[in-house]
Each structure stands twice: as C-alpha cells, then as structure tokens.
Amino acid sequence: MQRELIAVPEHWTVGQVIDYLRENQDLTTDFWEVFVVDPQHHPVGTCHLSWVLRTPRGVNMSDVMKREQTLIPVEMDQEEVALRFQKYGLISAAVVDPSGRLVGMITVDDVVHIIQEEASEDILKLSGAGEGDINEPISLTVRTRLTWLVVNLGTAIIAASVVGLFQGEIAKFALLAVLMPIVSGMGGNAGTQTLAVVVRAIATNELTSSNTARMIWRELRIAIANGLSLGLLIGSAVAFVYGNPMLGLVMGSAMVINNLVAGLAGIMVPVTLDRLNVDPAVSSAVFVTMMTDVMGFFSFLGLATLANLAG
C-alpha cells in the first residue's frame, strides 16, 4: 500500500479542500481521489478530484462525496486484494487497520504488479521450479527443484511398476511398447489442460464449493468428447497402419479411458488439495501426471491382455 494520500475532514467545504491542496507543498502530487474521514480518522467516503474541481466552493464534502466504498484490511493477502479490485472494478481503495482507521491506500497500478507477481509465482510452483530467481544461490535452487524431482521419480517408479506387470505380454508383442507412450502422453496433456483451468478458477475464486459438482460434470463431458475423438482417430490409424483392427480397438478404448481419468484427476486433485489447505499450484501436476501415466499404461496393456493380442 501507499501511505501518501489526501484525507480531509467530512465537515470541510470544497473550497477549504482546494485551498488545503494548494497551500500545502508537502502533500503528495500523484493522486486522483480525496478520502473523507471522521474525527477518529475512519474513512467515511471518497471524492474524485474532478468532482472537487467542478463543485462550488461552498458545498460540504459530506454532500459531494461517495459514501459507498470498498475498504481493504491492512492484513489482507495481496492476492485477495487483487481479486477485490477485479470484482468491483476499483481504481483505488482505502486501507484500514483493525480499528478501522485509515492508514494508507492502494491503487490499480499497484494491483497490476501484484497480479503479475502472483501469476509468475503460480506458474513456477506448478512446474516445481521454486521462486525462479536467477540470482538465487545455486545450492538453494538445487534443493528446491530436487525435492520435486525426487517426488516425480517416485511417481515414475509407480508407473513403471504397472508396465512391469505386463512385461510378458510386451515381450510377446513388442508393438505394445511402441504404442503405450502415446496413450499415457495424451492423457498427461489432457490432464494438464484441465489442471490449468481448475487452478486458475480456484485462484480467482471462480470455483467454489457451490459449483464444484457442475464443474466436475462439465470437465467429464469435455473429457468424453475429446477421448472419443482421439480414440477414433488413433484407433483407426493403428488399425490401418498395422493391419490389426483389434489393436486399433484396444488403442482407441484405452485413449477414451485415460482421457476420462485425466479429466477427473485434473479437477479432483487440485480441488482436494485446496480443501486440505494445500496450495494446488504446488503439487497438483505431480499427482495428475502419475494418475494419467498409471491408468494409461494399465488400460492399454490390460485391454491388450484381455484381447490376447500376443496370442
């Protein structure tokens, strides 16, 4: 917030305010709004500078000011401040302490910097890259990134163990090893798309407990449509290229299943983490990737086994 602001008593006239602004050289010169306060220095209204200049000098400030105002508690998180500015279309707002006294103001140009900082922070958290400061000590950067890389290693081992369950089928029909990364990779991409939308919706308070069910149903319908489209496309291509309709059916079915899993994981993981008071931007990607990899391999290789493609 900025501590340099213009605050005047509510019993002053417009003429007194204009004289005060002209005669006091120590006042801030960069402002467009005058805050009106009561004797306890509580903000009771605001008045645009243009209103002051166009109002007769004898009119009281209490008669020309706008009483409806959005007050920002001094302890409010800066991200919540940015959301409030966006919600109410604010240009500036008074900042008050716990007793309601005016202690500063925040303007929309400050909020622009906040939005940029928060967006950059969420992107870096989503990738597990830490603060992203290029001047940060290498040892600290290594520790931050290595932590999430170790977690990713664990999830990769889980996915690899699923592949290990079907190593006999893969040994008999090596083409399965060629095609299974397509299923897991496309599922991961679909999950990332849903995850990005959901994390943003949570960050901007667009996703709440009242509309979570509707959001889940919406993403599931999107996942079904995308899965059917991709499944039909890749299934037909595999059947044509390799001359094996059953392999194409297995490939297409696995694609549909994994897209459903990706859509469900992409919304349920961040929502669950948010309900547990864990930042969904930090760890959601790890779990979503694990689920799409595991289910991608399991659905494709499991269906291939049931279809006895290696037989």
pTM of the complete model: 0.63
Angle between helices 212-242 and 245-275 (to 10 degrees): 160
Per-residue pLDDT of the chain (311 residues; tens, 9 = 90+): 888 888 999 889 999 999 998 888 888 777 888 999 999 999 999 998 888 888 999 999 988 898 888 899 999 888 788 878 877 888 888 999 999 999 999 888 878 777 766 666 665 555 555 555 556 677 776 776 677 678 778 888 888 888 888 888 888 888 888 899 999 999 988 998 898 888 878 877 778 788 888 988 998 999 999 999 999 999 999 999 999 999 999 999 999 999 999 999 999 998 888 888 877 766 678 888 889 999 999 999 999 999 887 55
Whether the CB-CB separation of 301 and 170 falls below 8 Å is answered with yes
Whether the CB-CB separation of 296 and 180 falls below 8 Å is answered with yes
Per-residue pLDDT, 15: 93
DSSP-derived pairing of the beta strands 33-37 and 43-48? antiparallel
Per-residue pLDDT, 232: 95
Span 102-117, pLDDT tens digits:
999 988 887 877 776 6
